[in-house]
Structure 1
Amino acid sequence: MTSPSFRAPVVMLIALLLSSLSYAAPKQVTDVLGRSVTASLPAKRVVLGFNFEDYMAVGGETAFDSVVGISRGAWEKKVPMNWQLHVAHRPALEQLPDVGEVETQSFSVEKVLSLNPDLVVLTDWQFQALPDEVARLEKAGIPVVVIDYNAQTLERHVASTLLLGEVTGQQDRARELADLYTAAVNDVQQRIAAAHQPKPRIYLEFGNKGPAEYSFTYGKNMWGALATAAGGDNIAAPYVEWWGPINPEQVLVARPEVIVISGREDNTNPTALSMGPGVDPATARKQLQAFASRPGWAALPAIRDGRLYGVYQGASRSLGDFAMLQFIAKQLYPDLFADLDPLANYLNYHRKYLPVAAEGTFAISADE
C-alpha cells in the first residue's frame, strides 16, 4: 500500500503537469491582417521581429523569458541607447540569438528554424517584405502572427496589444493598456471635435540628415498619422503616401503653422537632431534651432511664431506614442490642452509598464 506521505507529492506532480499542459494549449487567434492563426498559447519559445518594448509592456518583464530570438538590429541599431538601458537592466538580452533584419535583407529562416520556436511575431511591414520566408516557416509548422503599430491607428494599436496579451498570457494587462491608449486618443479627438477650430497646417520631418538636406516626411502612417489624429492638416499628405521626401518648395508654399522634427539618440551626422535616452536638452535644442535657418523658413508662420518642435523618433509606432499624440495636439491647439502634460505622461507610462525609466529628451520646443 502506498503511504499518504508518498501519494501527496505524486498527486501534486500530476496536477502540475496537467496544469502546464492546459496552460499552453492550442488556441486560434486573429491577427491584425485578419489571418486566423492557431498556436500554443501562451507561447513558450517566441521569435520577435520588432516592438520589443511593447511586447514587454504587455507581457511584463518576464515575458522575455520566453523569447528565444530577436531581430536585434531593429532594436540595437535603431534606438541604441534604449537597447543599452535594457541590456544594463537585463544582461540576458545581450545573449539572445539574432535572426537578422528585414531592412538589411539579413533575416534568416534557417536561424529561426534552429531556435525551434513555437511562434514568430512580425510587424505588418516585416510580414509584407518576407512572403517566401513566412511560407517556409508555416510549412515547417511554425505559426506566424502579425502586429502593426506603424499604421498609428487606434484600431490596429488596440488589436496588436490584445494579440500580444494572448501571446504572453497577459490578457488583463493587455486590456488595461488598450483601454489606456483608447482613452487618450478619444480624449484628444473629442476635445478637438467639440472646439470646431480650423485645422492648423503642420509639417513633420525625420531630422536624421540635419538642416542642410531635407529628409523624409510622412503621409498616412507614423508621424503623419499622429498629426492627423491630433487634428492637424498634414501638408505632406497629398504628396507622400507613407513616407518619403517632399519638394522643399512645397513646404514653403504650404506655409505650415507648426513644424515637428523627429530625431534619435545616435547619429552619424553631427548636425542631425539628437533626441531620446541620454540626450541633453540643451544639445537637442541647439540642433533643432539650426533647422529654422533653412532657406525661406524664416518667413514660415511656424518659425515666425516660435512653433518649431522636436520629438523622439523611437517614441512613435508604440503604445507610449499616445503621449506624442498629446504633445502634437497641444502644439496645434494650445488652448485646448493646457491641462495636459504629455511629457509627464510619457515618463509615467515607462515607470508603470516598463522596467527601465525614460531619461533624456523626448519632446522639446526650439524656444527656451
Structure 2
Amino acid sequence: MLKKWISAAWLIGMLLISLPASAQIEITDQAGRTVRLAQPAQRIFFSEPGDFTVMAMLEENPAKRIVAWNRWRLDKHTLAHWRSIDPVAFDKINQMVIDGPQNLNAEMLIANQPDLVVLDHFFANAKQTIARLEQAGIPVAVLNLEADLRDRNATEGLEKMAILIGREQRGREVADFIVRHVQRITQRVARLREQQAALPTVLMEPHAGTGPCCMSVGSGVLMGDLVQMAGGKLLGSEIVEGLSAQLSAEYVIASNPEVYIGTGGRHIEARGGLLLGPDIDAAASRASLQRVTQRIGIAQTSAVRNQRTYGIWHSGYPIVNLELIATWLHPELFSDVDPMATLDEINQRFMAKPLSGTFWVTPNPTQKAH
C-alpha cells in the first residue's frame, strides 16, 4: 500500500514539474489566427477609438492596461470623461492619431513596448506591420470589440478580449446582457415580418445638418442596419452604395419618409450639425434638431408634420440605439422597452464612471429623451 502511495505521489510530482510556471492564455482571434499570452495583457495598444468604452465595461480602470491608443475622431469632452476615471494612468497613455492601416507604423508601436496589440478589421489590413510586430515577439489580436448586433456571434470580440485580460466571467456577463436585449427586439420584429405588417420608411441622415438635405446611410452600415433590425425600411438603401450618399431634396420629398433619424455629435457643432454627446444640454440638443429638420427636403415630409423626428448620438451603445430606434418606429409594440433603463443598467452594472450628457433627442420635451 505504501509503495502504491509513493508511486502515485512521485507521478503527481513529475506532472507538476512538467507544467509551465503560469498557465498560458490562448484564443483564436476573428481573423482565425492563434494568439497566445503568457499572462493577462497589461500593456495594450488599441487601434479603434471605441475600444476604450468596451474596456471600461470589462475593467474598472481601463487606462491602467493601455499603453497606447488610437484616439482618432474622439472629441475632447469624451476624452476628458475617460481621463477623469484615473488622470494619472490616462496621461501615461500614448495618445496617437492614426487615420488608416497605411499609417500604422510597426516601429512606432514597438517603441511603446506593448504586450498585446489589438487591431480591428479595418486596421488588420496592415499585413506588413502585423508581421513586423510578431517578428518582434509582440502578439497581435484582430478583434472588433464593439458588439456588432447584426452578427450571430455579436459579442465574440469583447468575450475574447475579456479572456486576454483575465476577465472571462465579466465578458460573459456583458455578452449575456447584450444578447438578451437584442433578442427582445429582433424576435418581435421577426413576427411583424411574418405577419407582413407595414413597416415605416425611415430617413437616417449621418452627421445630420452639416450640409443641404440629405445624406443617407447605406445598407451594410451598422447604424442603417439597426433601422432594419428594428423594423423599418431604410430610405435610399436601394440606391446608396458604400457608407453614405447624397439624396436630392426632391427624392426625399417624393419618398415622404414617415420617420427621420439624424446622427450627431460634438464634432459637428461648429458646422451647425445635430448636437449630441457628453455634457450637452437637452434644450440645446432639441434646438439643433429643430434647426436640422427645417431644411428644405426634410421640412416637407410627414416625419416633420407628425413630429416623428429624432436624433441619436453616433457613438452611443449599439444596444441602446437599437432600442431607441425600435421604440420610435413601433411605439406600441415596444411600449415595455425603456432605453433609459437599459442605459442606467449598463452604467450601474458595468461602468466605473458613467457618461453624462444628451445622447438622444425627440422633438417634444414631454417625450423621453436623454
Larger Rg: 2
* CA distance in 2: counterparts of 1:215 and 1:81, whole angstroms: 26
Q: Distance in 1 between matches of 2:134 and 2:253?
A: 50
Cα pair distance change 1:41/1:99, threshold 3 Å: farther
Q: Which of the numbers 351, 355, 359 marks the counterpart of 2:356?
A: 359
Cα deviation, residue 225, structure 1: 1.8
Choose between structure 1 and 2: higher helix proportion: 1
Of 75, 84, 89, which aligns to 2:85?
Answer: 89
Q: Which moved more, 1:114-123 or 1:171-180?
A: 114-123
Unaligned runs of 5+ residues in structure 2 are 1-17, 366-370
The 3 A distance-change label for structure 1 pair 131 and 209 is farther
The offset of 1:150, in angstroms, is 7.5
Q: Say if 1:156 and 1:360 are closer, same or farther in 2 by CA, change over 3 A.
A: same
1:234 alignment partner AA: L
Unaligned runs of 5+ in 1: 1-17
Name the amino acid aligned to 1:89.
I
CA contact under 8 A between 1:263 and 1:274: conserved in structure 2?
Answer: yes
Letter in 2 for 1:90: D
- Contact in 2 for aligned 1:47/1:68 (Cα 8 Å): yes
Equivalent position of 1:65 in the other structure:
64
Say if 1:204 and 1:262, in contact at 8 Å, map to a contact too.
Answer: yes
Assess, with a 3 A threshold, how the Cα gap between structure 1 residues 191 and 69 changes in structure 2: closer, same or farther.
Answer: same
Report % sequence identity.
26
Name the CA shift for 1:84/1:139 in 2 (closer, same or farther; >3 Å). Answer: same
| TM-score, normalised relative to structure 1 | 0.84
How big is the shift at 1:355?
A: 1.7
- Report the Cα offset of residue 201 of structure 1: 1.2
Secondary structure of 1:259 counterpart: strand
Looking at structure 1, the residues matched to 354 and 307 of structure 2 have their Cα atoms a distance apart, in angstroms, of 30
Look up the SS of the partner of 1:124 in the other structure. Answer: coil
- State the AA in 2 paired with 1:260: I
1:145 matches 2:141 = yes
**1:236 offset after TM fit, Å?**
3.1
1:22-61 aligned within 5 A: 22=22, 25-27=24-26, 29-50=27-48, 51-58=51-58, 60-61=59-60
Structure 2 counterparts to residues 270-309 of structure 1, below 5 A: 270-309=271-310
Q: What is the alpha-carbon distance in structure 2 between the residues aligned to residue 245 and residue 41 of structure 1?
A: 46
Shift of 1:107: 3.4
Which one of 171, 187, 193 corresponds to residue 174 of structure 1?
171
Over 3 Å counting, the alpha-carbon distance change for 1:334 and 1:208 in structure 2 is: closer
Alignment-mate amino acid for residue 335 of structure 2: A
- Residue 219 of structure 1 and its aligned partner are, at CA, apart by 2.3
1:111 aligned onto 2:108: yes
- SS for the counterpart of 1:348 is helix
Root mean square deviation of aligned Cα: 2.5
Which residue, 303, 308, 325 being the options, matches 2:322?
325
- Whether contact under 8 Å (1:31, 1:159) holds in the other structure is no
CA distance in 2, matches of 1:261, 1:19: 57
C-alpha separation between the residues in 2 aligned to 1:263 and 1:104? Answer: 26
How many residues align? The count is 340
- Residue 145 of structure 1 deviates from its aligned partner by 1.2
1:245 CA drift (Å): 1.8
